[in-house]
Structure 1
Amino acid sequence: MSSVKRALIFGICGQDGSYLAHSLLKKGFNVCGTSRDSFIANKTNLEKLRIDKEVEIFSAQINDFRSVLCTIKDTSPDYIFHMAGQTSVGLSFSMPFESIESISISTLNILESVRFIGKNIRIFIPCSSECFGNNSQDDPADETKVLNPLSPYAVAKCSSFWLSKSYRDSYGMHISVAFLSNHESPLRGSKFVMSKLFREIKKIEEKKISRINFGDIDIIRDWGWAPDYIEAIIDIINYENPEEFIIGTGTSVTLRKIIQKAFALIGINDYQNYISSKEIEKRPNDLRTSYLNPSKALNKLNWKSKTDIDALITKLYHNLLF
């Protein structure tokens, strides 16, 4: 019998799925993944990481139980990572049904499929720091904090957490969960604020545009580097006991501070003259302040973020993959 572990990544073509595939391949895993249609899957991220020829992609509809069940049966994985579904908080306000369906229902489909198959498969479910709602620097969220979702996206992620906990406690399944803070890289979707900032700031540097439009730039978030978080995810699923962990840097800053630092990289100190705040860019019930305590990950996994905010900004400006 082969000792090589096989990993199935639902949503392998996204930022996290692609980085996860890259890391697992380096660790000797056999890696396969899913896309809505394997024949027309957007493999750009996999190509950038030069692993597009090393992974097999299957077609799967994550909101369809039969499709998920057949995919798991056909691939016979040892590990399952659920990295698919809607990823945008902003989009979830305009498309709440899709948010719930693509996150909550897909999680239920994966968990129930594994229970139905009856095989001992390790499962990783990503949740979000958005689940905790607003919190303060004096009282940062840890794994015991009461969940207080403010967006349809966060509601869906909270549902995924409770489904995971219920299946874990009721059926003895190995289901691990991470509440991930915002994590960035050049593979991040183009509509996310960090991608927009560094794309547009290059245009300002080249004098192609004179101003960037944002929503609320005084929001406070814990921003991290995606490759760091992928290592945490692998540590979590490999941990002897399936538990939930907060994954973040432990340091939160305003978007304004990041904008200021990014403009300083191109020699502009009066950044205020190059940005605008538009109501249309703002969300109806946005999270204002997010502070996290990731000490459990340090104590149990010996994991902590290696990339501070200045290093993150430099990496994003220079479009570095690692």
Structure 2
Amino acid sequence: MFFDASYIRPSSLLVSSKQTSIDWIVHLLLYTFLNPLGVWVYAVPMYLRTNDRKYLRFGSYVVICWVLRYLNLRSKKCKYPRRKHMNVMITGGSHGLGLEIVRRLCDSATVFVLDQERSAQLEPLATTKNVHFLQCNVADPKSLETALNTVFGSVGQLDAVICNAGVRQTRQTLHLQPAELRELFDINYFANVQLIQHVMKHHRHPNRLHLVCVSSVLGFVSPRGLSGYSATKAGLHTFFMALRHEVPDSVVISTILPGQLTTRMFEDVRVERYFWAPLVDHRKLAQRVVELIERGENGFFAFPLYARFIPILQVLPYSWYRALKKFSRMDDVIEDK
């Protein structure tokens, strides 16, 4: 269908509903004054009242922005259809965001979960749904290869692969032992590279294959105490960014760049600027990931609103960068250990 109502409706809000934030305000504006239909309810009466064309120009600018959004959404979609019943593999699917993604996929897909332990929350899904758990230490190349061989020995092809497994450092990078730092990179970066290499060997064009990378905005800017973790996410983001130019157009790559999630990994992180940097509800984000897979959308997806502007920090004058970083108080969110 050429016309889809989603083209004139803003994307669903993914931030936590527990705090009022700039994201809620912008979302409201996108339904009213910044909506391609709603803007004219304001612009036309104001023009008739004042005879000032600036209101018509404002309405036209809003419409142009939405037309560009429409063209962007159309260009993101893969032209190859997905199979009705998908085979999906996800790393780190026993807890947090990964577990929520599994819950939303298991009714319409066969899901293979690669993780070190099967959590109590995953247990009922693994016994009653199309969920298969494979115990795997993704930091160990042999363990990962064995799990991947088991998956491809069970199914002929995969329709989606979600690189979600990740760990966080617990001390400042300068205090980490070499083995600890290597393990951090093995899990957060090298395991994903090995996984994609193995999966691509089994991909047969023109079947659609969707690769989802769960990265982080910390790949662009790091708070004090997480430089090692941020470096792994920066490497992962850059790898997938370059990979999209090395694969056939039947391979869809979606890179997810969230801010702080409402998961246990960052439950000890103190955030004071909730208005500007709200938490991302991992359950809502899981639903968005599933929607991206169903629609076959390429691209980068950053949440919440501030995450879309974080890369700009890297090209600002250093004094501006320091001032904005100080204002955000992001260097105070992790206790020194």
Partner in structure 1 of residue 192 of structure 2: 107
**1:192 corresponding residue in structure 2:** 267
Which of these residues, 246, 252, 268, is aligned with residue 174 of structure 1? 252
Distance 1:240 1:13, change over 3 A: closer
| Contact in 1 for aligned 2:90/2:163 (Cα 8 Å) | yes
Residue 107 of structure 1 aligns to a residue whose secondary structure is: helix
Decide whether the 8 Å contact of 2:88 with 2:111 is kept in 1.
yes
1:29 to 109, 127, 133: 109
Q: How far did residue 11 of structure 1 move?
A: 1.4
The one of 211, 222, 233 equivalent to 1:157 is: 233
Matched, 1:51 2:125: yes
Aligned equivalents of 1:60, 1:109: Cα separation in 2? 14
Instruction: Confirm or deny: 8 A CA contact 2:97 2:282 kept in the other structure.
Output: yes
1:60 and 1:71 in contact (8 A); partners too: no
Match of 1:18 among 88, 91, 99: 99
Give the Å deviation of 1:72. 4.2
Contact 1:62–1:68 (8 Å) recurs in 2 = no
Q: 1:229 to 1:89 in 2, by over 3 A?
A: farther
The match for 1:133 is 221
Compare CA radii of gyration and give the structure with the larger one. 2
**Structure 1 residues not aligned, in runs of 5+:** 136-148, 195-215, 252-278, 285-322
Shift of the alpha carbon at 1:249? 5.7
Kindly provide the amino acid, as one letter, of the partner of residue 123 in structure 1. L
Matched residue, 2:284: 228
1:104, 1:92 → 2: CA distance? 19
Superposed CA deviations along residues 152-173 of structure 1, whole A, max 9, x for unmatched, are: 1111111111111222211233
Please say if residues 219 and 237 of structure 2, whose CA atoms lie closer than 8 Å, have aligned partners that are also in contact: no
What's the TM-score, normalizing by structure 2?
A: 0.54
Query: What 5-or-longer segments of structure 2 have no aligned partner?
Result: 1-82, 308-331
Pairwise CA distance, 1:241: 4.1
The C-alpha deviation readout for 1:1-44, integer Å capped at 9, x for no partner, is x8411211111112112111111124x222221123xxxx3322
Query: Which amino acid counterpart does residue 145 of structure 2 have in structure 1?
Result: R
- Cα drift, residue 242 of structure 1: 1.9
CA distance in structure 2 between the partners assigned to 1:122 and 1:35 by the alignment: 20
- Identical columns (%): 13
Q: Structure 1's 44 and 160: CA in aligned 2 closer, same or farther, altered over 3 A?
A: same
Give 3-state SS (helix, strand or coil) of 1:174's partner.
strand
Q: Are 2:162 and 2:212, in contact at CA under 8 Å, matched by a contact in 1?
A: yes
Q: Is the 8 A contact 1:61 1:67 kept in 2?
A: no
- Secondary structure of 1:159 counterpart: helix
The 2-side partners of 1:32 and 1:22 are apart by 12
User: 2:293 matched to 1:237?
Assistant: yes
Cα separation, 2, equivalents of 1:165 and 1:12: 23
Q: Distance in 2 between matches of 1:92 and 1:7?
A: 35
Task: Tell me if 1:66 matches 2:140.
Answer: no
Question: What SS does the aligned partner of 2:137 have?
Answer: coil
What root-mean-square deviation, in Å, do the aligned CA atoms of Structure 1 and Structure 2 show? 3.2
Specify which structure has the higher proportion of helix: 2
The residue matched to 2:244 in structure 1 has which SS? helix
Against the structure 1 CA distance between its residues 151 and 158, is the aligned structure 2 distance closer, same or farther, given a 3 Å change threshold? same
Listed one character per residue, the Cα deviations across residues 221-265 of structure 1 (whole Å, up to 9, x for unaligned) are 4312111111121233344442111022659xxxxxxxxxxxxxx
TM-score (norm 1): 0.57
Matches within 5 A, 1:277-296: 282-283=335-336
Cα offset, 1:91, TM superposition: 5.1
Q: What is the CA–CA distance in structure 1 between the aligned matches of 2:216 and 2:202, rounded to whole Å? A: 28
Determine the C-alpha separation between the residues in 2 that align with 1:66 and 1:104. 16
Letter in 1 for 2:218: E
Work out the number of aligned pairs and report it: 211
Distance (whole Å) between structure 1 residues aligned to residue 84 and residue 335 of structure 2: 50
Inter-partner Cα distance in structure 1 for 2:92 and 2:162: 9
Opposite residue 14 of structure 1, the aligned amino acid is H
